[in-house]
Structure 1
Amino acid sequence: MMATTINQAEARPASYPAKPIDLTLPAAALDAAMIWQRIEAYIAYRYTPRAVVWIVEGCGEWFPPLAPATISATEVWSQAAVWETAILDAAPLGGFYLPATGPYRFTASVGAGDVPAAVAEAFRRLAEHLAAVKSNVMPGVREEHVDGIGSSIFDAAAVAKALQNSGAADLLRSYRRV
């Protein structure tokens, strides 16, 4: 049986990892934080530290949904309607075993380590793709000419599809779950 995360409050990091050095000028000019935010929304791993609080319900095993995570406090909502410190056992597969329905509150810090090559390449692909969207030189923008009158048609969903269309999502697939 698995407990369920019902709320996740993740703070913004003080900074994001450095962008790759092999970007074209238009891609390097994009806001790196915006690109990291898109990548982090898609994956379960973080590479710069930030605070996070999870509220979890149910009994059974629970694993932090973001990694790497360092849990600093575990609490349970008591019958006195206050958060009280909870001492929890380890679960057989590495998370925590929650003996009662809770709810439980986990306070943690997530994010550390070097950016793997696949994630750095996903950043590069996404940045290059978004730079192409911005300059209208990509799939999703087409130009039609009628009797010497030119017109451009922009796919409004081109930016929303950028993670998939750039090939970045494919590289990030193994980072979607902890």
Structure 2
Amino acid sequence: MKNHIIAALKLTLVMLVIVGIYSGIVYAGSKILPTQGNAEIINYKGQKFYANIGQEFKSAKYFHGRPSAVDYNAAGSAGSNKGPSNEEYLQMVQKRIDTLKMQNPEMHNIKVPVELVTASGSGLDPDISPEGALYQAKRIAKERNISIDKIQNLINNQTEKSFFGPSKVNVLKLNIALNELH
């Protein structure tokens, strides 16, 4: 019995050291990131917004982000847990495609970027692809009476290129920059 207790205590101490070292490495690694492991907060017109959390934009004058399985509630981050064989999920995606094509009639024959009709695993993804933003560009230009070239330049300027992954556009930052065009 005494041997088991001593072995358990040794294992506990070893695990505390390993987990402590791992936690320290993760914490130190986060401090070299641009936001130092913290949320990116944007103050705009007296309001605080979190650029790392998806936001809902309903107006036709704004770019729309990914749909959310949790209605953009950061306290309840989750996916829908429905796969491509789920009939209810397929109907929901088709409804989103139909709505998007109705909102962007100029793009009726263009393939809809997948992130505009499917929610992310967290339901809070703040980014879309440059193609997803360009899909909406004509609608934005028409609604705001701005040239399509200005909208496309804005999208290009807001596109974050990644060395390892695909390029992305933060929808909140894009919409704030869009407001600043006027």
TM-score scaled by length of structure 2: 0.21
TM-score scaled by length of structure 1: 0.22
Greater fraction of residues in helix: 2
